[in-house]
Amino acid sequence: MRVVERKVETSSVLYRVTRGIGVAAAILSLLVCILIIANNLRVKSLDPIHLPALERLIKELEKNPEDQALREEIQELDLLARKAFFSSQQFNNTGIWLILISLSVMLIAFKTLSKIHQEVPYPEGRDPSDAMIKEAGWRRWAVGGTGLVLVGFALFLALTTRSELDMKMAVVDAPATEPVPTAEAEPAAASFPSREELFKNWPGFRGVDGNGLAPDAQAPLEWDGKEGTNIVWKVAVPKPGFGSPVIWGDRVFLSGGDDSAREVYCFNRANGEMLWRKEVKLADSPAEPPSVAADTGHAAASPATNGSLFFAIFSTGDLVAYDFEGNLAWGRNLGVPKNHYGHSSSLILFENLLLVEFDHAESGRFLGLDAATGKTVWETTRDMGLTWSSPLVVNTGNRMEAILSANPLVVSYDPKTGKELWRLECLGGEVAPSPAFGDGLVYVASDYVKLAAIDVNTAKITWDHDGDIPGVSSPLVVNGLIFYGLSDGGMLCRDAKTGEELWFEDTDYGFYASPVLVGDRIYLMDREGTMHIFTASREFKSLGKPVLGEEAVCTPAFIDGHIYYRGIENLYRIGT
Amino acid sequence: MSPSKVTGKEFRTNLARFRSFTSRPIFRLLLLFCLFGPAPVALAQFRFPAPEFESEYTFPDTTVPSHQSVRQQYLDVGLLLVVLSLASYFVLANRSRKGLWVLMVFSLLYFGFYREGCVCAIGSIQNVALSLFDSSYAVPFTVLMFFLLPLIFALFTGRVYCASVCPLGAIQDLVVLKPIKLPAKLSQVLHMIPYAYFGTAVLLAATGSGFIICRYDPFIGFFRLNGNAPYLYLGAVFLLVGVFIARPYCRFFCPYGVLLGWMSRFSKWHLSITPKGCIQCRLCEDSCPFDYIHKPNVGQVRERREIGVRRLSYLFVALPLMVLLGGYAGSRVATPLAAVNAKVYLAERVLLEQQDPNLESTLETRTFRAMGTSEPELMEQAVTLRSQFKLGGWLLGGFLGLVFAVKLIGISVVRRRTDYLVDKNACFSCGRCFEYCPNDEQHLVNRMEV
């Protein structure tokens, strides 16, 4: 369409005045905008609540809290700062109104000008005769194309979005995985130590059953690691590790490791002399160890022993068995676990089987290995999240069960076959405490989520608590009571049947080590190296607080009236 | 060196150059950018930190603002009714653009600046959607009236709400200075956005995930003279674009426009360009800044009938397939869409933090843990919401598939037009076309008087 040019009287007074008003209003609003921005920047940089002068006066007042004049001076200065701030706010508010008014004036002026300039239509020419067909054609393409783009965008979004919730739902809904009997090995002829033999020694993490119970043992109440009081011997451990010592006969075993090497150690129980030290290097060990957190390290899992062999597992997935003379009996790499902290589930023995909880970010497994040969007897896939807890084998009265707690499931297996017996979704987060068992209830915990008591016969929660949950330390169940230490300090006792809190004892430091019942006393080491000794009773009664003299995160071993303890740097034999 | 002296001739030449530059469109654009650009920074929120010092001052009890007075609510509804009625009168009986403009300015001042843009009909879609899916939520009377009255009026008199009542439309209408005609292909594509926005807003409201129409209202910051800088910038961009592309939010985003369009399509009385018969003078051809005037198609070459019939047959067969395809795509996008929901987001975040301990906890996850709510409970709620989103995704996608299919069918059905007609579905009833019609005696008289 052509338009007819209309002669516009641009020299008329009305036109020029309107244009002038419009431009002036535009300039005014622009200026006010700039002033407000400058004002905002100034106030923001001023930070009236943190004026250096004010802060200096406040510090002075802290030293002389009774100085009334100083107090008044602070109040006056504070008031001034606030007045300045609110004055600037008032300036802003006025400015905003000015902007609004000037923009309105500008719009009216410009609209008037555009009205004066309005073009008079003078149509000429017509659309081509096939315009309608062509228009409909490309409109169809536009609509169809937009629809396809939308579908494509939706599918792209769906394919590129990773949902943790979906993965969790998949784990919960996944059917129980049947164990895979392997042809590698037939269960070896029953050849394993008796219960009596086991109780004379300390075969693994938290003692014989991994339940932290040593009712027949004894231990001293007083020592001082720094002064050497009641310290029989103390030896430096070459490489760091957080696994507890295991003891059989006259031998004390440990594992340790860092980025350069992973090692196992054997000490003479009588005098602390290192009998042998072996670097673990298998044919299929990874060339470089995985990256792990410093407070977990490469040797966080406690080793185990059955009296003829000593077993250890590392962050590299290397699982080894040495005889008591330091000869490698067998070794295999289970695959480098994807575990950002580092693998820390301890080994546990059940009859002639070595049970290995090998949960990691991808395809976790629970394995039953022939302890003598290392060959897989059974293997069960565990499609759930990472975990740092250890398995617990218990006799429920009806059967033996290996109970593993993870995120989000607690699962029970037949330790002989690896067949799943029951599962319950109740945990979340990072599951580090190992389960504890007593009177038909298994107790599981994960920090920030819950502490729950599960009836093993019904696989249902009897009680649970959302607050005051152990983060790393495992609970101890004894005499119908449950005891545990909190990661950020404090010890708790609850009624094991009802979950009712019976007492809470505050401590200066938190707990990574787990409590152990020795006779009728409970020993619980805090992270600063103070052993909290108290009675296993419904009321808190402290029996002593001896100190080690170095940081401590491991759970101790108790034999023959002595305590074997691994500090951050040294291994101790404590007693008289 | 002494400063060079500028002669009178040079000065006049420079002045002419400057005037020539300032009259260029690029200069005007720059000027507008300078004006709208800093405004959001000026209006952006700035909060004073809470006092931290200890004193003997006793803080007063926290008070909760009293409910909005019932009188105020009735006044809002009453005014809405009056303004809608007046707008209908100006559109149908009086044919007065001036009347509509005055009404529009009033609405902008009252419903926009005085009532701070709330309650508004556009946002009311979400209240109604939520009440339909959540039995514990009841739509307030005012909100219901703001939702229904414009639709009822649209059913009888067209989109008079857009013409003179909606403050969002009004603020954009005022800045229309140099409207340009968008390429028709682009315009067609952009016109599909409101359907997607409408469907998404309903889904999110129905699942209790939030009122995105209100959250992303680009002009609310201007009405309240305060707001977050990003939203103020969004509004400024809309206004800046609106100088050249008239009412961009109304045309290419407004979800309420979808409902108004459906109603207006069947309106009993609607604005017409000419009060009498069209004389085909073509003067109104470019009068609509929104490009909502259909030209007559008499004399245009038509497609062969069998081709058109075949295409329509294909499209009718494709219709259910498009609904299914849309539904499937919608169900797949439900997972990312569900993350908009605060509970689903929290559950995802909690799980993510568990998987990657290097991730810093957020305020939400810290609060969740501090409150002691059980994680399985949260997960259960998140899973329920996710399944609602899955179903909602099917419905949303199916709806969009249907819209696209119907649109394609609509394009393929050719209707004979002998006169210049407004697009009843989209026309805002702003009345700009009135004065272009030489058959409009009233405007003719006015012009003659001028």
Chain segment A101-122, per-residue pLDDT in tens: 888 898 888 888 887 777 777 7
Q: Residue B404 and residue A129: Cβ atoms within 8 Å?
A: no
Q: What is the pLDDT of residue B1?
A: 37
Lowest mean pLDDT among A48-52, A281-285, B394-398: A48-52
Give A157's contacts in chain B (Cβ within 8 Å): 332-333, 336
Q: State yes or no: pLDDT of B109 exceeds 80.
A: yes
Amino acid at B51: P
Compute the nearest-CA separation of A136 from chain B (Å): 6
What's the rounded Cα separation, in Å, for the pair A453 and A496?
8
Q: State yes or no: pLDDT of B48 exceeds 60.
A: no
- Asked if B34 reaches chain A (Cβ–Cβ under 8 Å), the answer is yes
- Asked if B183 reaches chain A (Cβ–Cβ under 8 Å), the answer is no
Task: Please compute the mean of the pLDDT values over residues A117-143 and round it to a whole number.
Answer: 81
What's the rounded Cα separation, in Å, for the pair B46 and A88?
11
pLDDT averaged over chain A?
87
The chain A residue lying nearest B393, using CA atoms, is: A154
Q: Are the C-beta atoms of residues A318 and B336 closer than 8 Å to each other?
A: no
Q: Is B450 helix (H, G, I), strand (E, B) or coil?
A: coil
Q: State yes or no: pLDDT of B4 exceeds 50.
A: no
Residue A235: pLDDT band (50, 70, 90) is: very high
Q: What is the pLDDT of residue A4?
A: 47
Compute the nearest-CA separation of B115 from chain A (Å): 16
The more confidently predicted of residues B450 and B234 is: B234
Tens digit of each residue's pLDDT (9 = 90 or more) over A559-569: 988 999 999 99
Name the one residue in this structure whose structure tokens are 């059980």.
B374
Amino acid at A275: L
Instruction: Using alpha carbons only, give the angle A563, A436, A540 rounded to the nearest 5 degrees.
Output: 65
Residue B450: pLDDT band (50, 70, 90) is: very low
Reported ipTM: the value is: 0.78
Going by C-alpha positions, the residue among B249, B221, B237, B172 that lies closest to residue B36 is B237
Max CA-CA distance within chain A? Answer: 116
Burial label, A280 (beta-carbon count in 10 A; 0-12, 13-18, 19+)? buried
A429: alpha, beta or left, given left = phi > 0 and alpha = psi -120 to 50?
A: left
Using CB atoms, pick whichever of A32, A110, A165 lies closest to residue B177.
A110
Per the structure block, which two tokens stand in for A391? 């398995």
Tens digit of each residue's pLDDT (9 = 90 or more) over A205-220: 999 888 898 888 889 9
The dihedrals phi and psi of A278, each to the nearest 5 degrees, come to -125, 135
Q: Is A63 helix (H, G, I), strand (E, B) or coil?
A: helix
The chain B residue lying nearest A34, using CA atoms, is: B38
Residue A3: pLDDT band (50, 70, 90) is: very low
Q: What is the pLDDT of residue A572?
A: 94
Q: Are the C-beta atoms of residues A174 and B220 closer than 8 Å to each other?
A: no
Residue A409 CB neighbour total at 10 angstroms: 21
- Rounded alpha-carbon distances, angstroms, from residue A56 to A59, A79, A255: 5, 16, 54
Going by C-alpha positions, the residue among B283, B279, B311, B273 that lies closest to residue B431 is B273
Per the structure block, which two tokens stand in for A181? 């009997």
Using CB atoms, pick whichever of A26, A49, A136 lies closest to residue B49.
A49
Give B39's contacts in chain A (Cβ within 8 Å): 29, 33, 99, 103
Q: Residue A89 and residue B46: Cβ atoms within 8 Å?
A: yes
Give B301's contacts in chain A (Cβ within 8 Å): 129-130, 132-133
Using CB atoms, pick whichever of A49, A100, A143 lies closest to residue B407.
A143
Q: What is the pLDDT of residue A126?
A: 76
Whole-prediction pTM: 0.60
What's the rounded Cα separation, in Å, for the pair A207 and A247?
10
Q: Residue B336 and residue A157: Cβ atoms within 8 Å?
A: yes
The more confidently predicted of residues B402 and B4 is: B402
- Long-range interactions of B221-225: CB distance < 8 A, separation 24+: B221/B40, B221/B43, B222/B43, B222/B171, B223/B112, B223/B113, B223/B116, B223/B117, B223/B167, B224/B116, B224/B117, B225/A93, B225/A96, B225/A97, B225/A100, B225/B43
What's the rounded Cα separation, in Å, for the pair A119 and A322?
99
Tens digit of each residue's pLDDT (9 = 90 or more) over B262-281: 999 999 899 999 888 888 88
Q: Are the C-beta atoms of residues A456 and A396 closer than 8 Å to each other?
A: yes
Give A111's contacts in chain B (Cβ within 8 Å): 174, 177
Q: What is the pLDDT of residue B41?
A: 55
- Rounded alpha-carbon distances, angstroms, from residue A454 to A48, A422, A430, A497: 56, 11, 19, 10
The contacts of residue B3 (CB under 8 Å, 6+ apart) are none
Compute the Cα dihedral for A453, A456, A461, A462 and give only its sign: negative
Mutate to test the interface with B, among A159, A162, A165 (most CBs of B within 10 A): A165
Compute the nearest-CA separation of B234 from chain A (Å): 17
Which DSSP category does B113 fall into? I
A522: alpha, beta or left, given left = phi > 0 and alpha = psi -120 to 50?
A: beta
Using CB atoms, pick whichever of B42, B192, B336 lies closest to residue A33.
B42
Q: Residue A466 and residue B348: Cβ atoms within 8 Å?
A: no
Beta strands across the sheet bearing A376-382: A180-181, A376-382, A364-370, A353-358, A348-350
Compute the nearest-CA separation of A186 from chain B (Å): 37
Q: Residue A155 and residue B329: Cβ atoms within 8 Å?
A: yes
Q: Cα(first)–Cα(last) distance of chain A, in Å? A: 110
Residue A271: pLDDT band (50, 70, 90) is: very high
Q: What is the pLDDT of residue A9?
A: 63
Using CB atoms, pick whichever of A385, A426, A450 lies closest to residue B355.
A385
In chain B, residues 214-273 whose CB comes closer than 8 Å to chain A? 225
Give B355's contacts in chain A (Cβ within 8 Å): 164, 361, 385-386
Lowest mean pLDDT among A264-268, A428-432, B251-255: A428-432
What's the rounded Cα separation, in Å, for the pair B332 and B411?
29
Task: Please compute the mean of the pLDDT values over residues A180-205 and round it to a whole number.
Answer: 72
Q: Residue A562: beta bridge partners?
A: A559
Counting one residue from chain A and one from chain B, the pairs whose CB atoms sit within 8 A come to 208
Q: What is the pLDDT of residue A208?
A: 87
Going by C-alpha positions, the residue among A367, A391, A365, A390 that lies closest to residue A377 is A367
Tell me the pairing of strands A557-559 and A542-544.
unpaired
Compute the nearest-CA separation of A459 from chain B (Å): 16
What's the rounded Cα separation, in Å, for the pair A107 and A188?
94
Compute the nearest-CA separation of A82 from chain B (Å): 9
Compute the nearest-CA separation of A309 from chain B (Å): 36
Q: Residue B35 and residue A30: Cβ atoms within 8 Å?
A: yes
The chain B residue lying nearest A424, using CA atoms, is: B376
Give B177's contacts in chain A (Cβ within 8 Å): 110-111, 114
Q: State yes or no: pLDDT of B2 exceeds 60.
A: no
Give A82's contacts in chain B (Cβ within 8 Å): 48
- Rounded alpha-carbon distances, angstroms, from residue A183 to A187, A188, A317, A417, B419: 10, 13, 22, 13, 88
**What DSSP string describes A434-470?**
PPEEETTEEEEEETTTEEEEEETTTTEEEEEESSS--
Q: Residue A107 and residue B175: Cβ atoms within 8 Å?
A: yes
What's the rounded Cα separation, in Å, for the pair B99 and B431?
10
Name the one residue in this structure whose structure tokens are 């058959």.
B439
Per the structure block, which two tokens stand in for B37? 């650009």
Using CB atoms, pick whichever of A110, A123, A386 lies closest to residue B283.
A123
pLDDT averaged over chain B?
84
- Rounded alpha-carbon distances, angstroms, from residue B367 to B111, B348, B362, B370, B371: 38, 15, 8, 5, 6
Q: Residue B348 and residue A450: Cβ atoms within 8 Å?
A: no
Q: What is the pLDDT of residue B245?
A: 94
Q: Residue A129 and residue B301: Cβ atoms within 8 Å?
A: yes
Using CB atoms, pick whichever of A140, A146, A168 lies closest to residue B192.
A146
Compute the nearest-CA separation of A541 from chain B (Å): 30
Lowest mean pLDDT among A60-69, A108-117, A376-385, B38-47: B38-47
Amino acid at B342: A
Quote the distance between the C-alpha of residue A80 and its chain's center: 47
Q: What is the pLDDT of residue B36?
A: 56
> Among residues of chain A, what percentage have pLDDT more than 70?
93
Give B46's contacts in chain A (Cβ within 8 Å): 40, 43-44, 89, 92
What's the rounded Cα separation, in Å, for the pair B396 and B275?
41
Q: State yes or no: pLDDT of A2 exceeds 50.
A: no
Q: Residue B34 and residue A121: Cβ atoms within 8 Å?
A: no
Compute the nearest-CA separation of A494 from chain B (Å): 19
Residue B42 CB neighbour total at 10 angstroms: 22
Q: What is the pLDDT of residue B157?
A: 94
Tell me the pairing of strands A481-485 and A2-4.
unpaired
